[in-house]
Amino acid sequence: MKTSSVAPKSQPSHTTEKVTTVICTSSEPEEPPGKSLLVKNSEEEPPSNTATGRYRFFWNVPDSSWKDWKWQFRNRITTLEQLVKLVPLSNEEQTQISSVIKRYPLSITPYYLSLINPDDPNDPIRKQAVPCIKEITMSSLGLEDPLAEKEDSVVPGLVHRYPDRVLMVLTDICPMLCRHCTRKREWRHGAWTRTDSEIETMLDYLRRNTDIRDVILSGGDPLTLSTGTLETIISKIRAIKHIEIIRIGTRFPVVLPQRIDAELCNMLSRYGPIWLNTHFNHPNEVTPEAAAACDHLLRAGVPVNNQTVLLRGINDNVEIQTRLCQSLLKAKVRPYYLFQCDEVQGTEHLRTSVDAGIKIIEGMRGHTSGLAVPNFVVDLVQGGGKVPLQPNYVLSMSESELLLKNYEGKVFRYRNPGSLERKEEAVAAPPVSGVVESLLADADLPVKVKGEANADRIIIRS
């Protein structure tokens, strides 16, 4: 999960632990990955191949398992052999995937895989989840660590770059390995979580630094930790008087919404204010299950914001972004950021030009609710931070007035407040129409004065 505001600057030391010891605290027996998916129940027949989603791939999985996030986690699709039984792959694709996953592994939850349309090779869910040979063939482009995340942190796993906020990197484990991940380089380190002593060292730092008011829990995905482990950490942070807010960066509501269960929500509700940033990229991801997960969080007093990554062939047009953001609003999730995909090795095939993002914002602004329009940002290399980019609506600006273009391309004159007090300047200023013609001539724009009576807010071009 890319975490806003603070990016980790280091590859912290860590301890490798088995995933199951991290997330599975119940005594139920471990199921081997894929067992439930790949072994037919002889007493039942699979549905016809016209069935979709869960009922095409996982028809023999009982509800009790399907709704259990630990079952979903244990049964992630992590091998080519599992994948090929679920998603149609040509021999060539199988060979290619086999080669890609040696460098960039595969992990898809059954739930997220069930969202794939297996008959569409360009399905937007498939493209985010299934490895592609271009991750290797285009890997000469991009950088392993464009955001310079390997610089030292204050203590292992704790990044303190800005005065009032810190990032706690608790694990590198994620339920789904997104093909566009900024931290793909971490995948080769295997699964690890912070030790108790590492976490205590981070907490000590927080206690000693009273300027810190905002703590972001990140990874990997911090919700891969058990609810009990999370509560231990969160309760200790909450006990520090100068910490005002806690934020969680997670993609669980999108790729494994079953994780947002009553136990987790009840726990979070006791330690607010807690904010949660998640990562929906396509309207097909805003399912009833995902919307219910967000609703549970909201009812627990946890506001949910979304951070989308702009991805070639997945969500790089106005229509899909508008549908995505409108769907999020219906789920009471605020579209917060639209990120330009970082310059990461192994993701070049999914990156778009920057102007594609600006055009998307231009196509949304004014055409749908402003609440649905995210901030389009580029995260600069070498830790330079986020730069918001937007269409150019300001054609000119002086102390007395601005020429502004609206969402329909019409140009308006807008009096700059305070200009009347600058009386001498106002008297000396040339006639308004002259200024407009001159500026527009420079800008090579046709001039058409429509309403001179209202000189302050006149439409001069349509």
3-state secondary structure of 71: helix
Q: Which residue has tokens 């592609």? A: 132
Q: Which residue has tokens 């330009």? A: 340
Give the active site residues. Answer: 161-162, 165, 174, 178, 181, 183, 342, 379, 386
Dist. CA 127–CA 178, nearest whole Å: 9
Least distance to ligand SF4, CB of residue 461, Å = 43
Least distance to ligand SF4, CB of residue 405, Å = 35
Lateral strand order in the sheet of 385-389: 158-162, 165-169, 214-218, 245-249, 274-278, 304-310, 334-340, 375-380, 385-389
Dist. CA 181–CA 242, nearest whole Å: 33
b/e code 36-62 from CB counts within 10 Å (16+ = b) = bbeeeeeeeeeeeeeeeebebbbebbe
Pick from 93, 198, 221, 401 the residue near ligand SF4 by CB under 6 A.
221
The amino acid sitting at 300 is A
76 binds ligand SF4 (CB under 6 A): no
179 binds ligand SF4 (CB under 6 A): no
Closer CB to ligand SF4, 181 or 302, in the complex: 181
Least distance to ligand SF4, CB of residue 220, Å = 6
174 binds ligand SF4 (CB under 6 A): yes
Pick from 89, 181, 361, 364 the residue near ligand SF4 by CB under 6 A.
181
Per-residue binder mask for ligand SF4 (CB under 6 A), 4-43, x = binder:
----------------------------------------
Which residues in the 242-271 window bind ligand SF4 by CB under 6 A? Answer: 251
Total number of residues that touch ligand SF4 (CB under 6 A): 10
Pick from 178, 265, 276, 290 the residue near ligand SF4 by CB under 6 A.
178
Choices 177-185, 280-288, 379-387, 442-450 (CB under 6 A): range interacting with ligand SF4? 177-185
Closer CB to ligand SF4, 1 or 286, in the complex: 1
Choices 59-67, 174-182, 268-276, 366-374 (CB under 6 A): range interacting with ligand SF4? 174-182
Choices 90-98, 132-140, 170-178, 366-374 (CB under 6 A): range interacting with ligand SF4? 170-178
Cβ atoms of residues 285 and 115 within 8 Å: yes
Dist. CA 289–CA 271, nearest whole Å: 25
Closer CB to ligand SF4, 66 or 187, in the complex: 187
Cis ω for the linkage preceding 273 (within 30 of 0):
yes
Closer CB to ligand SF4, 251 or 296, in the complex: 251
**Orientation angle between helical segments 262-269 and 227-238, nearest 10 degrees:** 10
Closer CB to ligand SF4, 17 or 437, in the complex: 17
Dist. CA 285–CA 148, nearest whole Å: 31
Closer CB to ligand SF4, 307 or 322, in the complex: 307
DSSP string, 182-221: TTGGGGGG--EE--HHHHHHHHHHHHH-TT--EEEEESS-
185 binds ligand SF4 (CB under 6 A): no
Least distance to ligand SF4, CB of residue 218, Å = 8
Which residues in the 104-123 window bind ligand SF4 by CB under 6 A? Answer: none
Pick from 23, 177, 191, 202 the residue near ligand SF4 by CB under 6 A.
177
Choices 54-62, 88-96, 173-181, 269-277 (CB under 6 A): range interacting with ligand SF4? 173-181
1 binds ligand SF4 (CB under 6 A): yes
185: CB partners within 8 A, 6+ apart: 144, 145, 344, 345
Dist. CA 185–CA 344, nearest whole Å: 9
Cβ atoms of residues 17 and 191 within 8 Å: yes
User: Which tokens go with 289?
Assistant: 């299950």
The site for ligand SF4 (CB under 6 A) is made up of 1-2, 174, 177-178, 181, 183, 220-221, 251
